[in-house]
A and B are shown apart, each in its own frame.
Chain A
Amino acid sequence: MSPYSLMILLLCLSSAAYYLGKKKAFAVSADVGGARQLHSRPTYYGALAARWCGIPALILFAGWLGLEDHIITGMVVSELPETLQNLPADRINLLVNDIQNMVTGNIVSREVDDVMRAAADHYRHLQNISSAALAVLVLAVGIGGMLWVRSRIVPSLRARNHVERIIRYLLIFCSTIAIFTTIGIVLSVLYEAIRFFHAVPVTEFLFGLKWSPQMAIRADQVGSSGAFGAIPVFAGTAMISAIAMLVAVPIGLMSAIYMSEYADRRFRDAAKPLMEILAGIPTVVYGFFAALIVAPFIRDAGTTIGLDVSSESALAAGLVMGIMIIPFVSSLSDDIINAVPQALRDGAYGLGATQSETIKQVVLPAALPGIVGGVLLAISRAIGETMIVVMAAGLAANLTANPLATMTTVTVQIVTLLVGDQEFDSPKTLAAFALGLVLFIVTLLLNVIALHVVRKYREQYE
């Protein structure tokens, strides 16, 4: 039986368990004076039966599928002739790969001999046994669980508490998935980054001024020595993010102030959704907007006033990134300004403060921590932004303070280092992980600070 039909069968079985459990609950309650005498509502007894039917069977199912391959492979290998078993481990791996390819009908890398054919047959045979055994076991566990719960249904069974506990475990499980994924990603990046730091010292990476991630394949190749000083890359990220924030923070903040303090409701109702459309544009669209319209425009404008602007400039990327972030800043600030209690504004107006005095001296100072938090979140967004800079900022790692020059960012370098076929034992590729690690740490710090600031602000008016 295929895993899919088994799953569907299991679902049907769980539904059946639900009805049986519920029916049993009604049946046992009839003896003691109706469903009101049950500890929990009848549906909880059904739910309990369904869960005991489904969950253990599912766990068994998942565990089986996880281990099946490993066990079958081990059994096939142990059946191979002596001569083959004494091969080194990587050769055996290749052999097993071939056997598996034969079983699934893929292309095989060597001559097919009788030994292999026998092994493949054996493999297929074991697979069949395994899937049959799995089906039997899963159904047995499911039915067993259902019957076990059903036999235990008495009016005093605290079914609701049991069901709620199971649901709570489920919730805990779901909430930890994100955490474990994060830990997993961090560890994998960290592991590769450490490999990189074996080849290139940390200090050279963090403080070196030249970025040229080439590695020679042969010793006599031109440009055989790579340079992995990441300062120009970080500088590019900092420059472009700074330009973006210079665009986004004033425009976003001022539009938030207008929206929340001055605009009448009709304008706000119309304008806010329009601004949020800006946030919904895919970054790749911003990317070609930057590369095809903004960058040439800046170059032409620069040429007319006698400036030498490269066709891929930090300015163009930064400007467009800033526009992308405007709705982010404005809607966060808008929320925070709106959260300032009306009582504070009334207090200021009651003293004869004008609207602008009230906004500048009472509302904004009260909202400032929250706004700072929002801006920090926006910065970490800008630092991590990839698509716009890939398309508009360029690849050359120039260490310059001139926004009209081509610059590159951490994210662009990661993309270029990892796109295409890469070998994972050269510092060139591993450098991407080191860059990613630094990027991760920076944005993590910014986010932690920002969230802390925002939370502190929220507590102020409780």
Chain B
Amino acid sequence: MADPTHSDPKLISREKRKTVGDITVDNPRMTCRNVNVYYGEKQAIRNVSLDIARNEVIAMIGPSGCGKSTFIRCLNRMNDTIESCRVEGEIIIDDVNIYGRDIDVVPLRAQVGMVFQKPNPFPKSIYENVAYGPKIHGLSQSRAELDEIVETSLKKAGLWEEVKDQLEHPGTGLSGGQQQRLCIARTIAVSPEVILMDEPCSALDPIATARIEDLIDELREQYSIVIVTHSMQQASRVSQRTAYFHLGDLIEVGKTTDIFTRPKHQLTEDYITGRFG
């Protein structure tokens, strides 16, 4: 087999890049098996298999371009919006392969919500931002019910006290941290079961980051959360399990405490000790 990585001494051969650690959990919320992702000719994810447990926060770490964002965007098929992107393998939620032939992405994305790197509130009022999801999915029968959903979601996102008197103000007028919490509230409002967070704090200051981390910890009681982060401190603070990605391979999965104290794979150790990344 001609493997280009052999010729490059800096890279480690295929054999040594098999996933280390236990990828499975009991009673998983989502199950990914042999996921390969291609952007045109280029392969971004190789043979990744991973379970996502219920009521856990699992952190995806790894150097830039390692495929962690690509991987979580597979979990609710957000990659569909990229024309050249192709996904192979199985991702199963509730016994259904989401890349199966008859799958409608609309209910899937309501079930697996997503929070993005940059806060992206709609240019609408705060109320409308949160109410948008419930409206399109018909989750409320009356205005009162909708008000209720908006209030609960904003409370869960820890934003209610700050915005309850200005629900009609535009969501874009809030501060960065508030905007990100608004986006989380917006995601919660459609009552998803899994929340994907793609570097949710990278555009925020430390105080706003701390608030979001507290929030993630609270949300774990009801949701499974998959978070991509560049900050290893953040991963160790918020997550129970951690997955380390390297150049499209899932290198190591395990309990967060184990990964950060006793990494089994050389690449993981190099990364968390700051030798590269």
Contacts and interface: CB of A to CB of B under 8 A. Distances in A.
Contact of A347 (B83, B111, B122, B137): B122
A350 B123 contact: no
A276 interface: no
A347 B109 contact: no
Interface string B104-133: 011111110111101011111000000011
B187 interface: yes
B78 A350 contact: yes
B120 A352 contact: no
Contact of B108 (A264, A352, A357, A361): A352
A350 B113 contact: yes
Q: Is the interface of A mostly helix, strand, loop or mixed?
A: helix
A351 B111 CA distance: 9
A265 B84 CA distance: 11
A265 B124 CA distance: 30
A249 to B, nearest CB: 22
A347 B183 contact: yes
Contacts of A351: 109-110, 113, 132-133, 136, 186-187, 190
A110 B109 CA distance: 94
Interface in A157-210: none
A345 B81 contact: yes
Given A264-B83, A346-B81, A347-B116, A352 B136 contact: yes
A341 B121 CA distance: 11
A45 B23 CA distance: 72
A312 B122 CA distance: 49
B122 A352 contact: no
B194 to A, nearest CB: 12
Interface in A308-342: 341-342
Interface of B: 76, 78, 81, 83, 105-111, 113-116, 118, 120-124, 132-133, 136-137, 172, 183, 186-187, 190
Contact of A349 (B109, B124, B190): B109
A151 B118 CA distance: 61
5 contacts: A350-B78, A352-B105, A354-B136, A365-B124, A366-B122
A368 to B, nearest CB: 10
Contacts of A366: 122-123
A74 B132 CA distance: 81
A424 B277 CA distance: 81
B216 to A, nearest CB: 17
Given A350-B109, A353-B106, 7 more contacts: A341-B120, A344-B122, A349-B109, A350-B113, A350-B187, A352-B109, A353-B132
Contacts of A345: 81
Contact of A352 (B81, B110, B115, B121): B110
Chain A's interface size range is 20 to 34
Interface string A35-72: 00000000000000000000000000000000000000
A390 to B, nearest CB: 43
Contacts of A352: 105-111, 133, 136-137, 190
A343 interface: yes
Contacts of B121: 347
A361 B118 CA distance: 20
A191 B81 CA distance: 60
Nearest to A362: B122
Nearest to B122: A362
B120 A343 contact: yes
A460 interface: yes
**Chain A to chain B: the 5 pairs with minimum beta-carbon distance, closest first:** A352-B110, A350-B114, A352-B109, A343-B120, A351-B133
B190 A346 contact: no
Contacts of B132: 348, 351, 353, 361
A346 B83 contact: no
Given A346-B81, A349-B78, A361 B120 contact: no
Contacts of A350: 76, 78, 109, 113-116, 187
A78 B107 CA distance: 97
A350 B187 CA distance: 8
A354 B105 CA distance: 8
A352 B104 CA distance: 10
A350 B188 CA distance: 11
Interface in A246-260: none
Nearest to B118: A343
Nearest to A353: B136
B163 to A, nearest CB: 18
Residue among A264, A350, A366 with the highest chain B CB neighbour number at 10 A: A350
B262 to A, nearest CB: 36
Contacts of B118: 343
B113 A460 contact: no
A53 B132 CA distance: 69
Given A343-B116, A361-B136, A348 B108 contact: no
Contacts of B133: 351-353
A379 B276 CA distance: 59
Contacts of A354: 106, 136
Residue among B120, B121, B133, B187 with the highest chain A CB neighbour number at 10 A: B120
Residue among B81, B105, B108 with the highest chain A CB neighbour number at 10 A: B81
Contacts of A342: 81
A353 B252 CA distance: 35
A344 B183 CA distance: 11
A325 B28 CA distance: 58
Contact of A346 (B78, B107, B110): B78
